[in-house]
Homo-oligomer: A and B are copies of this chain.
Amino acid sequence: MSVAKQILDLNRFDAGKASSMPPVLAERVQRRQATFGAASVLFYEQPIEMARGEGAYLYDTNGTRYLDVYNNVPSVGHCHPRVVAAIAAQAATLNTNTRYLVRIVETYAERLLATFPAPLCNLVMTCTGSEANDVALRIAENVTGARGFIVTKSAYHGNTSAVEHISPSSFKSQNTAPHVRTVPAPDPRDAPDADIGMQFAAQIQAAIDDLRTHGHGFAGFFADSIFSSDGIFADPPGFLQQAAALIRKEGGLFVADEVQPGFGRTGAGMWGFARHGIIPDIVTMGKPMGNGFPMGGVVTSPDHLAAFTRKTSYFNTFGGNPVAAAAGLAVLDVIADENLIANAAQAGGVLKDGLLALKSTFGQIGDVRGAGLFIGLDFNNQTTGAPDPAMASYVINAMKQHGILIGAAGLYGHTLKIRPPLCFNTSNAAFFVETLRTILSGAN
């Protein structure tokens, strides 16, 4: 089990410690465990039974309100009325598959594709980000005729059999599949005197060479440009350019997994890759695309897509259904009409400044970094500087007591993953910073 898994499991409910739960909660947990069995994954030592959501808040069945600083699926806000209305109206009118023409489906495809640079002008609609990355794998294999892929050490790209191989953060053992190589995430602190972009590209070059030596060839590189599960690495913008140029030169495909940074989260435009000034070969999307309606997508060039469909007869029954299109269209409208990208920049800026100020007070905070409304905050041992996942775990549970939902990330699980819905405002940011101050003051 990787270190990251160990710490993520610290925030996972453990039935062995459940004796002190209130009877009603214990009964709910028992029902979940009885039905979901070994695959049940509940957060917190005492799980929360949720009742409703609104904007940046979730409410449990006791009426307790939680500021949501964890969930990026309800990206434009929990139960956003425009998205809900769009889903309800379309579900009542027509819900069918893409073997028929349906105007809202073409409209959505055009609206979404208009946010991408050339030559990214074809869309495959799926139901999840996992399905999108599963298609991207096959596009890259078919275009290159190779099987070797490169990802970062603690990457997560999804849950299908094939995508699991390129998702080391899911591994319960350290065994990487033979056709996959990992490289360290581009952490600027690892290259204080060098150019992090050059160093990252050099590591990718070594991985490409090793894949070739072992006969796998080089099909492509997958990256979430904010390196979410690696611990959030966003700066300096542009550090992916050398890697992108190298990958193209070596004949592989650059797959930008926008499940995390996409749809405005970084506060610097719609897409994380654009913040780095690169144009990927394939873009994949998921979580925030439908604000909770299950949908994902792959955007690529016509030639790359044709290479895929020459070999496989791909059809996704639910993918691109008109209800998904309606949800997706409402999400695009809300992002624009409520200036959520600008809000991500502004509220994210206030949040980051506040956390940086805390860092100067509290020695437990090793680093604060990120872009827009995606910030990582490391806890490190004040004496040794070692990652302190126990502190992250303590803060996550203390935050719950203060009415805030948050989680951890990174190779060592010592990084608070600060990733609220994009409607999170400056007051929410101030509340979060002050709550963290209170918790850290008490922890001293």
Contact = CB atoms under 8 A, between A and B. Distances in A.
Interface of A: 5, 25, 28-29, 31-32, 34-43, 47-53, 58, 61, 71, 73-74, 78-79, 81, 83-84, 87-88, 91-103, 105-106, 109-110, 113, 121-124, 127-131, 134, 137-138, 159-162, 164, 170-173, 286-287, 292-295, 302, 305-306, 308-318, 320-321, 323-324
B38 A308 contact: yes
Contacts of A128: 127-128, 131, 316-318
Contacts of A28: 101, 103, 106
Nearest to A13: B99
16 contacts: A25-B101, A28-B101, A35-B122, A37-B302, A38-B306, A39-B124, A40-B98, A50-B94, A51-B93, A58-B94, A71-B97, A78-B96, A79-B93, A95-B292, A128-B128, A172-B312
Given A100-B48, A137-B161, A161-B134, A36 B88 contact: no
Given A161-B161, A305-B39, A315-B41, A96 B71 contact: yes
A405 B320 CA distance: 20
Contacts of A113: 35
Contacts of A313: 5, 170-172
Nearest to A311: B172
A29 to B, nearest CB: 7
A49 B102 contact: yes
With most chain B CB atoms within 10 A of its CB, the pick from A41, A50, A122, A173 is A50
A35 to B, nearest CB: 4
Nearest to A60: B100
A241 to B, nearest CB: 27
A160 B134 contact: yes
A121 B36 CA distance: 9
Given A35-B109, A302-B38, A159 B314 contact: yes
A288 B91 CA distance: 15
For the complex of A and B, list the 5 residue pairs with the smallest distance between their C-beta atoms, beginning with the closest.
Answer: A37-B122, A88-B88, A161-B162, A35-B109, A294-B318
A185 to B, nearest CB: 19
B122 A36 contact: yes
B134 A50 contact: no
Given A79-B91, A162-B161, A39 B314 contact: yes
A130 B161 CA distance: 11
A95 B50 CA distance: 10
